Structure 1
Amino acid sequence: MSQIWISAAGLCGATLIGAVLGFLIKELPHKWNDTVLGYCAGIMLAASTLGLIVPAFDMTSSTTWWIVVVGVMAGALFLNVLDLVTPHLHHITGLDQEEHRNNKSLNHILLFVMAIALHKMPEGMAAGVSMSTTEIDWSVSLGIALQNVPEGMVIIAPLLVAGVSKIRTMVISLAIGLLEVVGVWIGFGLGSVSLTLLPVMLGFAGGAMLYVTSDEMIPETHAHGYQKQATYALLLGFMTLLLMDKLI
């Protein structure tokens, strides 16, 4: 049982470490902000494909692969619909409702944050399932924890720049980290049953991440004249997670 707590604490702690780093880089100029965001877009691109969608397909058979495709498209559609309700999330940010309506950038940021939050639960479940077997596989938890650091970092800076208070921003980051803790325990508790549910959830989360990476993150990094270095940063971020997956 202690291994489950270690895994859960590690995943949540990695997100909080990234959040602390996010506090340190919130004053970056556009040039470097686009570069960091491009790097994180690469991380999310790799995480959604290599960390979520590919493993989901590996869990299916030649007759059930379609459930992953449905999950991916449903995740993208969910984020598309969520884009319509982000102006109503003023209670989460603590900002005025009118500011949400008139601040398109803030709504994009919230959509991005929601996409990260959305995939924390199935990620945690994946780690929990790996802990429920007779031979515990620590590589899953370690890989997710390493990925959580840049993800936690990229949550913080945009929210602070948008005007959300430091305390509320940290609470949002902590809540997102705790989602993964819940996911670990759900995955561990469901055991073999979650092996049926997990491919759909992983595909759903992967589709959501792909949607927000393509629709929000990449266009934002190309909007201020620094698209070349943002593109190379994206490739570097993608290769970073690819190498981490290879080494682990």
Structure 2
Amino acid sequence: MDFALLFGIALAGALASPIGGALSLLRKPTTLALSLSVGFAAGALLGAFAFEMLPKAVELASLARAVLGFVLGFAFLYALDLFVHRGASAGDKAQQRDWVRSVQRRRKQRGDEVTVLAGGTSAEELVEGLTIGVSAATDPSLGLIVGLAIVIDNVSESLSIGHLVHEQGGEHPTRRILGWTSLIGLALFLSAMAGWFFLRDLPKETLGLLLASGAGAMFYLTTTQLVPEAESHQFQQSAAVAAGTGLLVIFTLSNVAAR
């Protein structure tokens, strides 16, 4: 893959975030629209790392390195998640929920709900951007498929941020939505460029490890944020239908690209 094509992929992923934010400003997303968009993004990401990233990581490195890389990427985002949530988190129906709330009350919060969500997403975009750069360096078709999945993901995440800002109310909603979504897009673009320029000449075993790390990080993001968010807004299991559709789209593209 030449640099012009990578630049186009990274730019599309970066612009997807403020475009999603702008769409949420034009019209507040309905719960059904959120369920469909976030569910589709979850399925697309699942397909990208299951059908493309992990198999390519094993091919470049080895099964053991791929497993290690996945664990490292997963652990990194897990640690980031705990940092953002002050070291404690639990689901609404968890028996530990009261303890988590008491811990969070005792510790100074890192911002309101929008800041926590958008700030955490910006940090995750650094990982996704590097993943685009590494994917493009290993295989052009892989870079295209991973980039497409992340474009879809960024639009859905920006719609979620816009919906949350609308729900919370307050001053300057336009500035908050476009400011955060632009930061998210910039983080993705810069990290994709860094992945291409600084990582592409690494040994193939190292690239395989990094690719698997990106898969682990994306898996954590999908299962802890996208799937629960989509399901919380579902109507007639719209989230499951959208996720299945997203996965089949990436599965089809993966097989077409392999021919």
- If the length of structure 2 is used for normalisation, what is the TM-score? 0.75
State the alpha-carbon separation in 1 of the partners of residues 153 and 13 from structure 2.
7
- Aligned counterparts of 1:47 and 1:82: Cα–Cα separation in 2: 22
Aligned to 1:175: 187
Report SS of the residue matched to 1:75: helix
- TM-aligned CA distance change 1:180 to 1:121, over 3 Å: same
Aligned-residue identity in percent: 19
Q: Mark the runs of 5 or more structure 2 residues left unpaired by the alignment.
A: 87-106, 166-175
1:90-105 alignment, distance < 5 Å: 100=110, 103=113
CA contact (8 A) 2:17 2:158 kept: yes
- The 2-side partners of 1:231 and 1:156 are apart by 20
- Distance, in Å, in 2 between the alignment partners of 1:151 and 1:222 is 16
| Paired amino acid for 2:153 | E
Q: Which residue of 1 aligns with 2:228?
A: 219
Matching of residues 146-165 of structure 1 within 5 Å = 146-163=148-165, 164-165=176-177
1:233 is matched with 242
In the alignment of these two chains, the number of paired residues is: 224
Q: Distance in 1 between matches of 2:234 and 2:152?
A: 24
Amino acid at match of 1:119: E
CA root-mean-square deviation: 2.7
Return the match for 1:66 from 61, 64, 67.
64
Partner letter of residue 23 of structure 2?
I
What does the per-residue CA deviation read over 1:100-153, in whole Å, with 9 as the maximum and x for residues that have no partner?
4553x75355445533431321331231244xxxxxxx4344334433421331
The DSSP-based 3-state class of the residue aligned with 1:200 is helix
C-alpha distance after superposition, 1:160-196 (max 9, x if no partner):
33443413421321221221122122244x1xx3312
> Does 2:116 correspond to 1:107?
yes
Matched residue, 1:82: 80
Q: Call closer, same or farther: CA 1:115–1:58 in 2, change over 3 Å.
A: same
**Contact residue 43 and residue 237 of structure 1 kept, 8 A:** yes
Letter in 2 for 1:180: A
Partner of 1:92: none
Q: Contact 2:45–2:150 at 8 Å: present in 1 too?
A: no
Select which of 1, 6, 9 maps to 1:8. Answer: 6
Amino acid at match of 1:14: A
Task: Give the unaligned 5+ runs of structure 1.
Answer: 89-96, 131-137
